[in-house]
Amino acid sequence: MQFQSFDGEGNPSFMRRHYLIGYIWGLVSTILFIVTLIILISKCSSGKYYSTKVPSKSIIPIKQSINDTITGAAAHNGKENHIPSKYFTEFDFYNAKPTKTLKILENFQTYQQTTEYSCGPAAALMALNYLGITNVSERQLSDSMFTGYPWRLNNFSKLGTTTTDMARVLGTFNVNVETNAGAVEPPWSDEIEFTKWIKNAIENKQPVLSKHVDWGGHWEVIIGYDDMGTESFSDDVLIIADPYDSSDHRQDGYTIWPMERYYSLWHTKMSDQPLEEYYFQYVKISKK
């Protein structure tokens, strides 16, 4: 004959063990669920390439500034960084990889201009550096492009760098150069053709230097495009290597623009340059 043990309340001991095991298992399951949920939320909110640090490899060091005193974006030197920012998302563009929707020039290093007017040479330096041409400085490019203020004695007395001079100087390096210098109409018929053109350039590892109305006339490099997986242009994003990146709480040299807005502002009417330098000015370079 077998005798069954009971607890103090008259319940069989095996039932007590069963309830205890069930309670422990439920507690463990709840803890695991909460931990998993926290991890998933963290990943969804941060993303694979989101980072709170500026990758050190993404910055091109200054070899030779244009003047003895560094001014311009380089003088900011991250003083206005707020990482993490309350208002801007931190994304690691340097280590980002292409996806089904994103086209990007991988491991594109950035550079901050050392004067208030040398965005052209700084943009050219970044583009050349991406193609493996690293033995050139911002100052050398500035001298060759006749970049400077109106009182500087050179062949171009206006402020900044013309598309013609940009293309001319880049053509002295071992690269292919495509430009619409001097054109008063865009080289593509509409936004649809532009998106095809820029995606093709990025997929073929061709940096596109763009002269834009930003800062009243500014050279930048288009290095990425994300169509967000939709047919609409309204949510498309351009990724820019910006030689004057002082306005997004993270001076890593990368900025983003809504494609439609960037496209509509692709002119330099505010700058003191001739009419043929106004609209959709670009220089695209590639390896020979």
pLDDT of residue 43: 46
Asked whether residue 29 falls in the same domain as residue 138, the answer is: no
- Domain hosting 62: range is 50-287
- Tell me if 123 sits within 8 A of 71, measured CB to CB: no
* Residues 137, 6 share a domain: no
Indicate which CATH number applies to the domain containing 230. Answer: 3.90.70.10
Both 129 and 268 in one domain: the answer is yes
d(CA 288, CA 279): 28
Q: 40 and 57 in one domain? A: no
- For residues 2 and 75, state if they share a domain: no
Q: Among residues 26, 46, 66, which one ends one of the domains?
A: 46
Each residue's pLDDT tens digit, 130-159: 999 999 999 999 989 988 755 444 444 456
Q: Where residue 53 falls among pLDDT bands split at 50, 70, 90?
A: low
Residue 263 has pLDDT above 50, yes or no: yes
The residues, any chain, with a CB within 8 Å of residue 75's CB and separated by 6 or more, are 114
Whether 180 and 38 map to the same domain: the answer is no
Is 133 in the same domain as 231? yes
Q: Give the lowest-confidence range in 62-76, 80-94, 167-181.
A: 62-76
User: Do 184 and 59 share a structural domain?
Assistant: yes
Q: How high is the pLDDT of residue 12?
A: 54
Neighbours of 157 (CB within 10 A): 13
Which pLDDT does position 91 carry in this prediction?
A: 86
The Cα–Cα gap between 22 and 27 comes to: 9
Report the pLDDT value the prediction gives residue 15, as an integer from 0 to 100: 55
Residues 226 and 133 in one domain: yes
Instruction: Report the amino acid identity of residue 222.
Output: I
| Residues 183, 266 within the same domain | yes
How far lies 245's CA from each of 72, 146, 168, 264, 286, in Å? 10, 23, 26, 21, 25
What whole-number percentage of the chain has pLDDT above 90? 43
Q: Where are the alpha helices (DSSP H) in the chain?
A: 13-46, 72-76, 119-130, 138-145, 163-170, 191-203, 259-264
Q: Please indicate, yes or no, whether the overall pTM of this predicted structure exceeds 0.85.
A: no
Q: Is 145 exposed, middle or buried (0-12, 13-18, 19+ CB in 10 A)?
A: buried
Q: Which residues are 230's β-sheet partners?
A: none
Residues 164 and 141 in one domain: yes
Tell me: do 37 and 59 sit in the same domain.
no
Q: How far is CA 226 from CA 119, 187, 259, in A?
A: 25, 21, 9
What is the DSSP secondary-structure string of 27-57?
A: HHHHHHHHHHHHHHHHHHHH-TTB-SS--GG
pLDDT for 187-238, tens place per residue?
888 889 999 999 999 999 999 999 988 877 899 999 999 999 999 989 999 9
Confidence check: pLDDT of 96 > 90: yes
**Total domains in the fold of the chain:** 2
Residue whose entry in the numeric block shows the structure tokens 């596109």: 208
Q: What are phi and psi of 276, to 5 degrees?
A: -70, -5
